[in-house]
Amino acid sequence: MSALLEAQNVSKRFGGLLAVSGVSFTLHEGEIVGLIGPNGAGKTTLFNVVNGVYPSNGGSIRFEGRDITGLAPYRIAQLGLARTHQIVQPLNYMTVLENVTVGACFGHEYLSQRAARVHARQVLERVGMAGRANDLARSLTIAGKKRLEVARALAASPKLLLLDEVLAGLTPTEIAQMIELVRDIRKAGVSVFMIEHVMQAVMNLSDRIIVLNFGEKIAEGTPGEVARDPQVIEAYLGDPDIAQKLAERS
């Protein structure tokens, strides 16, 4: 597998707080990589640096071998990297179809409005939301808005999709449905980098997992390796028995 996303010694500081400290990793084509850690560990900040929302204070980021450090988010999206947000951000007074059309207009293929609308309908069919196309985004449930976030990002035709807690707030049935959607996304050729606190889900989905704590990478490996790591148990998983069960099921 060839490298798709490479981070080398990436850091981000907010005043006196070093939110991300010298983090390095590589994500390969076709992978699902999980990013876990306690609240405040720097996970979303790292996402924001990767997709250009925050400028880094050190290090470099390469996407398909190209240095994207410091590029604007819209330029990074055009290169084929899209994301969802931890707090859903639909365009509330636009329809579901219009929301997804926006993603298609400003994504990797930079489609015309007419072509984007056609593509958006195809994406809605793919994520199971075709029946809600003409509904206002504000009328959706949390689960619906999460799925809309994914649809809008997919409409950008990304090569890499960053998912920020898409399972948060969902029922067990909705979690199972979203897991299947993520697997389908990977089958369609899109690599996935996901932040998640639903441990059983991220352990089952991920090929590899990266663990942050206080802005530093403390572990990286297969789900089983990470679940058995003493630093991860102490910093995040807490209970060795729970960690063992996660390791056995991964």
Burial class (CB in 10 A: 0-12, 13-18, 19+), 107: buried
Instruction: Please give the Cα distance from 64 to 121 (Å, whole number).
Output: 29
Which residues, in sequence order, are CB contacts of 122 under 8 Å at separation 6+?
A: none
Q: What is the pLDDT of residue 250?
A: 61
Q: What is the DSSP string of 16-38?
A: TEEEEEEEEEEEETT-EEEEE-S
pLDDT at 73: 95
Is residue 110 left, alpha or beta, with left meaning phi > 0 and alpha meaning psi from -120 to 50? left
Query: Which amino acid is located at 188 in the chain?
Result: A
Give the residue extent of every domain in the chain.
3-80+160-249, 88-158
Q: What angle do CA 32, 35, 41 make, to 5 degrees?
A: 170
Q: What is the pTM of this model?
A: 0.93
In 10 A of CB 227, how many CB atoms? Answer: 25
Burial class from Cβ neighbours inside 10 Å (0-12, 13-18, 19+) for residue 241 reads: exposed
Question: Which tokens hold the place of 1?
Answer: 């597998």
Spatial distance between the Cα atoms of 202 and 183, rounded to a whole number of angstroms? 12
196 in Cβ contact with 202 (< 8 Å):
yes
Residues 114-161 pLDDT 10s? 999 999 999 999 999 999 999 999 999 999 999 999 999 999 999 999
* Spatial distance between the Cα atoms of 3 and 6, rounded to a whole number of angstroms: 7
Q: What is the CATH code of the structural domain delimited by 3-80+160-249?
A: 3.40.50.300
Q: Are strands 160-164 and 191-195 parallel, antiparallel or unpaired?
A: parallel
Burial of 55 (0-12, 13-18, 19+ CB in 10 A): exposed
pLDDT tens by residue, 206-222: 999 999 999 999 999 99
> Among residues 192, 229, 198, which one has the least CA distance to residue 211?
229
Report the alpha-carbon angle 55-44-243, nearest 5: 140
Distance of CA 184 to the CA centre of its chain: 15
pLDDT tens digit sequence for 147-206: 999 999 999 999 999 999 999 999 999 999 999 999 999 999 999 999 999 998 999 999
